[in-house]
Amino acid sequence: MSIPAFDEKELKVVGESFSLYGSIPLFDTPVSLCDGYLSAVRDRKPIWQITGVETQMFTPSMIPDNVARALVIEGEPFDAVANGGGKDMFGIDWEYVPLVGGSMVRPGNPFMEDMYDWKEKVVWPDIDSWDWAGCAEKNKEFLNTTKAVQVWFQTGWYERLISFMEFENAIMALFDEDQQNLILEFFDQLADLYIRMIDKYVEYFPQVKSFFMHDDWGSQKETFFSPALVEKMIVPSMKKVTDHIHSIGCVAELHSCGQIMKQVPNMIKAGWDTWSGQVMNDTHALYEQYGDQIMIGVIPEQFDPETTTEEEQRALAREFAAKFCNPEKPCVVNLYGTSCFTPAYREELYKEARIRYSK
């Protein structure tokens, strides 16, 4: 796709979107939000600066994990307090905790304590029995959007192991040489399951262009395990999935919490297109070091909209564009850094990025 030159008419606000931080103006972009997202993240040919407004989350209630994890986003409303929790696709029982706004497996009674008998204990879900056609019909209007529809997988590889075994048993199993081959075999079959689900999604929901997968690897201060262990135990099955996602022309985004800067090389090896780390990660340093290999979710310099003049806000947007809107090394704006974004900042960032990307 050739990058069209910037036209001031694009700054016309033609709609609005909504996020955790309120209303977001939508500009009169030269291509659809979906095409702009794919051009930037899949093809590495950004047209404007991607800020997250380009995607629409889709986590239908048809998938047991979405109800169990109490995060259902689809055409019908979902009451997490009343209906969140319950059994996931493997029959593991989750409990919704209103205080934290999410679900967890009740501790103290793990499904299994080690991996020795997993082949006898684990019952794989029959995804063909889920009502894919009915879900597609129900969400026809919801998915009628110019955005790239993004499916979330909320329980990745290590997180799935935790759901079976609890945290302590899961992390010890990863280090236990006697269990490692068993885990690798399970992770490989889990990758096959996710690939089958991905194929179902693109068959029944052609609007789906992105898959956003969760697998937390760290705490506030440090990663749970060494990069060598992640490369050996998790990267192979992840790469199997991202290779498939790319083969069908879609985007593979990773969500992984914690201070895990030293794991970015493994994200690259695993084939992820982008990762937006939490605020304890130095996203500017990561961009400098790895931004030519993976799209880093960069956290912009923060400011107080109440005490920062409009011109100062616009100057900050231009500074961000000068540092990070590099056609040869694009990034995405990290959601964790957009709480202070004002209409003036967004407009100036859009304009400056469009000019830089169309040169």
User: In the predicted model, is pLDDT for residue 99 greater than 70?
Assistant: yes
Average pLDDT over residues 18-30: 88
* CA quadruple 206, 145, 76, 97: dihedral, nearest 10: 90
How far apart CA 76 and CA 91 sit, in angstroms, is: 24
Question: Rounded to whole angstroms, how far apart are CA atoms 309 and 300?
Answer: 17
Closest CA to 258 of 271, 275, 241: 275
**Quick count: other Cβ atoms within 10 Å of Cβ 107?**
9
Supply the pLDDT for residue 4.
Answer: 84
Residue pair 350/48 in contact (Cβ under 8 Å)? The answer is yes
pLDDT of residue 323: 98
Q: How far apart are CA 204 and CA 136, in angstroms?
A: 6
Indicate the pLDDT class of residue 359, thresholds 50, 70 and 90: confident
- Taking Cα atoms as reference points, which of 283, 259, 254, 286 lies closest to residue 271? 254
CA gap 354, 359 in Å, rounded: 9
Give which of 255, 259, 270, 268 is closest to 211, Cα–Cα: 255
The answer to whether the CB of 278 falls within 8 A of the CB of 336 is yes
What value does the mean pLDDT take over residues 67-89? 96
How much is the pLDDT for 106? Answer: 86
- Separation of alpha carbons 143 and 129, rounded Å: 22
Contact 291, 329 (CB under 8 A): yes
Burial (Cβ within 10 Å: 0-12, 13-18, ≥19) of residue 195: middle
Is 21 a residue whose pLDDT tops 80?
Answer: no
Q: Which DSSP letter does residue 73 get?
A: B
Q: CA dist 228 to 156, 175, 205, Å?
A: 19, 11, 37
Residue of 290, 285, 340 whose CA lies nearest to 316? 340
For the cut 80, the answer to whether the pLDDT of residue 30 exceeds it is yes
Query: How does pLDDT run across 254-278, given as a tens digit for each residue?
Result: 999 999 999 999 999 999 999 999 9
Here the tokens at position 258 are 């914690």
- Predicted TM-score (pTM) of the model is 0.96
The helix (H) or strand (E) run that includes residue 33 is helix 33-37
The CATH class that applies to domain 49-354 reads alpha beta
Model confidence at 18, pLDDT cuts 50, 70, 90, reads confident
Each residue's pLDDT tens digit, 142-167: 999 999 999 999 999 999 999 999 99
What is d(CA 256, CA 277) in angstroms, rounded to the nearest whole number? 7
pLDDT value at position 2? 77
User: What pLDDT does residue 1 have?
Assistant: 66
- Better-scored residue on pLDDT, 182 or 107: 182
